Structure formats: C-alpha cells, structure tokens
Amino acid sequence: MIDFFERAGLLFSLAPVFRGFIAMIISGMSFPLCGVMVLRLNLIPMRYMLMHGVILGGALSLAMNLPLAPVTIFINLLLVFGIVLLSKKQGFGFGYTSAVGMIISMAFASLIMHVKNVPAKDSLSLLWGSPFALKTYDVILLSVIAVLLVLYVILNINNILAVFFNSEISQSLGIDVRFHYTFMVMLIALIVSVAMKLLGAFLIDSLLVLPVLCAGRINVKRFCGIKNLFILSSGLGLLFSVTGYIIAVIFNLPPAATISVVSGMIFIILSGVLR
C-alpha cells in the first residue's frame, strides 16, 4: 500500500501529469455549466458543427502557418454568428442551420487540405487532444475561460433561468433574450473551440454532457430547479474528471476513455437506482 501511494505521488510530481490534473479540475467544474446550456437550449446539433469548425480551423492554420487556437476560435465564432443570424432572419431552427454549417465546414476543410497538401491526419488529430500535452499557458487559457463562464452563470442566473423557461415571457419582463441567448451560444462555441484543441473531442463530451445527464437523474428525483442542476452538474463533473484522471495515471490508461467510462457507468447506475 505504501509503495502504491509512493508511486502515485511520484507520478503526480511530474509536470505534465500535474498540469493535466489541474486542467481536469478546472474542466470538470466548469464544462458541465456549459453542458446545462447545451441541453436546455437543445444545442446538441450545434455541438457537432463546432467539432467540424475546429477541423476547418486546424486545416486553415496548418495551410497558412497560423496559430491554431485563434484561428479555430475565429472560425467557430463566425459559424455561430452566421447560424444565429440565419435563424433569426429565416426562422430556421438551430438544427437545420447547424447541419448546413457542419457540411460547409467539412467541405472547406477538404478543399484546403487538397489544395494546400495538408495531411488529413494532422487536422483530424485535433479530435484527440491529451491532458498530458498541456503547457502552462494552455492551463492559464483554460482557467480564464472557466472564470468567464462561472461569472456569467453566477451574475446572470435569473436571466438564464428565464430564458430557459420561456423566451416570450422573458422578453415581456424586459429581459434581453436575444443577447443572453446569443451570448450563451457564443460562450459554448468559445469553450468547445479552445477545449477541443487542448483536451480533444472525446473528453469534452464526457465532461460537457454526461455530468448534466447524471445530475438530471438526481435532480428530477431528489431536488427541484435549474440552479440545483447547475450545482450538481459541476460537482459531478469534478468527481468524474478527478476520479477518472487519477485512475488513468496510476494504471497507465488513456484519460479521456477512463473518464468517459467512469461517468458512463455512474449514469447507468443512477438510471437503474433512480428510475
């Protein structure tokens, strides 16, 4: 037992492992807040569009030798701005416009990779980021975005709840529904763009959606209200990320897959116990 803890302490003393651990704490606490917005606003289709936007940004940055993070952020914010504008003017749902954005993103990415001879594996590698590869500035960037997300939720919780409940009633109460809706969508785009480059698409899904689904099972049966859903999702996300990461490091397993298994198994257990 002593050897086990000594080995664990030695592993976590390594800079890449420790930075990844800090990133998992930050991501686990903050990403589920964004996941509540995704599920409550029914933005799952947009989530897939953002993944393809990151691939387009990766292809463009490699072809033009530009820094990756700013390009992917710009591409995804541009895509989100476009679908928000199109949805507003034409009355289309986000599902339709997100599908169009996804198709266009992959089409342009394919053209750029073909014309500029960018290897497809280099762009697609963005889907498989690793916490072990993070640098100090990556953790700082992740922290800044997490603080922005948490502050927005805390300072605007009543407006957010009103938008979730009924946009027309919220508008009649003087709440700027369009602003908050657009800001939440832009915030989701920013988080997915940065976090996907740093952590990979697999890990984002594990911390964006699964903690919220698990919290929803508990929230429906034991508590009431979206505020509790935010709190429970954040707490479960932290639990999943830290537990899965520690298991992955100690037993030399891939962090994303391990965290996904932990969160997925807990969701299955909760679904059975609280049905």
pLDDT at 150: 93
pLDDT, the chain, mean: 82
- Residue 29: inside a domain: yes
Question: Is residue 216 one of the residues assigned to a domain?
Answer: yes
Stretch (H or E) spanning 246: helix 226-250
Q: How confident is the model at residue 146 (pLDDT cuts 50, 70, 90)?
A: very high
Q: Is the pTM of this model over 0.85?
A: no
* Counted domains in the chain: 1
**162 is in which domain, residue-wise?**
17-273
Residue 94: closest CA among 105, 85, 83: 83
Asked if residue 5 belongs to a domain, the reply is no
In a domain, 26, yes or no: yes
- Residue at 49 is within a domain: yes
44-58, 119-133, 135-149, 184-198: segment of lowest average pLDDT: 119-133
Note whether residue 236 is domain-resident.
yes
Those residues whose C-beta lies under 8 Å from the C-beta of residue 161, and which sit 6 or more positions away, are: 226, 227
